[in-house]
Amino acid sequence: MDKLIERFLRYVSFETQSNSSVAHCPSTEGQRVLAEQLKNELIELELCDVELDENGYLMARLPSNVDHDVPAIGFIAHMDTAPDASGKDVKPQIVENYQGGDIALGVGDEVLSPIQYPDLNKLHGHNIITTDGTTLLGADNKAGVAEIITAIAYLKANPEIKHGDICIGFTPDEEIGRGANLFDVEKFGAKWAYTIDGGPVGELEYENFNASSADVICHGVNVHPGTAKNKMVNAMNIAAQFQLSMPAEETPECTEGYEGFYHLVAMEGGVAKTELHYILRDFDGESLERRKTFMQERVDELNSKLEKGRVELKITDSYRNMREMVEPHAHIIELAKEAMVECDVKPLIKPIRGGTDGARLSFMGLPCPNIFTGGYNFHGIHEFITVEGMEQAVKVIVKLAEKAASSNE
């Protein structure tokens, strides 16, 4: 455990934001730089089959130390951080033995407040790692990377803990939805795996949103404003009409739990053409289809009212709810729950209000639930993680490796 935080603080110093506008993989060079560093560390740990491929996927294996056949299991984390906030020059701070109240971030006026983030009220006495208020922290998912490597190092140092083959995978570009695109499941070699990419202690997730993206393209007519009467059609006004036709209560800021949403994530354009970019999310596949239909109906209605100009809709499916692929393998959920309980962690079964490499991998033949890292408020300057939560994640990984070796599956 003494190396856990050292590893984490070292990893967050690497700038690894992914970039959706770049087609190649990994989408940023910083991810490859971190992958090379991790490759060297895995080699130093004397793991087998350490390989970093041309697309930035890093895999390795800790060989079984039992003399009978047991299932190979895997642990997976992603190396990139989200594009939503800067991941450059991350300057973390450790608040020891937190006793409540606001936590000042850096030298400015930015604070981490229990009024805004009530979870802090449950963390008195914990050691909390925060940002300096100018960048994200990178616990999503460098905490997962550090926890996996620390657990593997612990297993290496304690051979009396029996385990089968442990497969390790670190992926690029998860934050832009491509983390599983080029993942070689057969080469990875695990019968099932766990992504270590969740939030607060105890989280265990095996269902996620069904996801689609929707582009609403509004076409106007641009004419010199001095002679525009009865000629100009402002595409931005058309776009505003469309957005106002969408249900205001079905947005991320108004939903929780199993509630789906429409989320306007970006808009761009001018008088002649304006584009609205949405993401659609729902846990139920049929409900997601209804959301697509609803948007098409709004487009059709708006087009029927327009004398000039027009609107078009383009929808792209992204990923599906992994529940249907994981539930037939209920023992891997039970194994994780048992491992948590044996580590004095209360399992918190909840849906992922987002996506995960595990969703795609589950449909690629590798059932892959998600386990906590101990972090909070991912993707922004108020991101933080507890030392204690990270330590508990390591213990759960070790216990899972041990329990899988006695599994009958």
Q: Is 122 helix (H, G, I), strand (E, B) or coil?
A: helix
- Each domain of the chain, given as residue ranges in start order, spans 4-207+321-404, 210-319
Contact 385, 129 (CB under 8 A): yes
Give the pLDDT of residue 408: 62
| Catalytically annotated residue among 15, 110, 140, 174 | 174
Across 216-232, average pLDDT: 96
Rounded mean pLDDT of the chain? 96
Place 355 in a pLDDT band, splitting at 50, 70 and 90: confident
Q: What pLDDT score does 354 carry? A: 83
Distance in angstroms (rounded) separating the CA atoms of residues 227 and 231: 8
210 neighbors 281 (Cβ within 8 angstroms): yes
Query: Which of 30-34, 104-108, 393-397 is predicted with the least confidence, judged by mean pLDDT?
Result: 104-108
Q: Closest by alpha carbon to 194, among 17, 409, 398, 406?
A: 398
Give the mean pLDDT of 130-147.
97
Structure tokens at 303: 């087009």
Give the model confidence (pLDDT) of 299-333 as tens digits: 999 999 999 999 999 999 988 999 999 999 999 99
**Residue 262 bridge partners (DSSP):** 280
pLDDT (tens digit, 9 = 90+) per residue, 143-202?
999 999 999 999 999 999 999 999 999 999 999 989 999 999 999 999 999 999 999 999
pLDDT for residue 106: 85
300 is catalytic: no
- Closest alpha carbon to 56 in 180, 177, 176: 180
Q: Which CATH architecture has domain 4-207+321-404?
A: 3-Layer(aba) Sandwich (3.40)
Contact between residue 12 and residue 85 where contact means Cβ atoms under 8 Å apart: no
pLDDT above 90: percentage of residues in the chain:
94
- Burial of 116-140, coded b for 16+ CB within 10 Å and e otherwise, reads eeeebeebeebbbbbbbbbbbbbbb
Question: What is the reported pLDDT for 367?
Answer: 97
Longest distance between any two alpha carbons in the chain, whole Å: 85
SS3 assignment, position 184: coil
Assign 142 a pLDDT band (cuts: 50, 70, 90). very high
Which of the following is catalytic: 15, 41, 80, 175? 80
> What per-residue confidence (pLDDT) applies to 109?
87
Candidates 131, 83, 141, 86; CA nearest to 111 is 131
Q: Can you tell me whether residue 140 is helix, strand or coil? A: helix
The β-bridge relationship of strands 73-78 and 166-171 is parallel
Residue 395 has pLDDT above 90, yes or no: yes
**Is 174 a known active-site residue?**
yes
Residue 21 one-letter amino acid? S
**What are 58-108's pLDDT values in tens digits?**
999 999 999 999 999 999 999 999 998 899 999 999 999 999 999 999 877
CATH number of 210-319: 3.30.70.360
In this model, does residue 50 exceed pLDDT 90?
yes
| Angle, CA of 168, 171 and 172, to the nearest 5° | 160
159 burial level (CB within 10 Å; 0-12, 13-18, 19+): exposed
| Residue among 112, 132, 131 at smallest CA distance from 120 | 112
Q: What is the mean pLDDT of residues 244-271?
A: 96
Residues sharing a CB contact under 8 Å with residue 127, sequence separation 6 or more, in sequence order: 94, 95, 96, 97, 98, 386, 387, 388
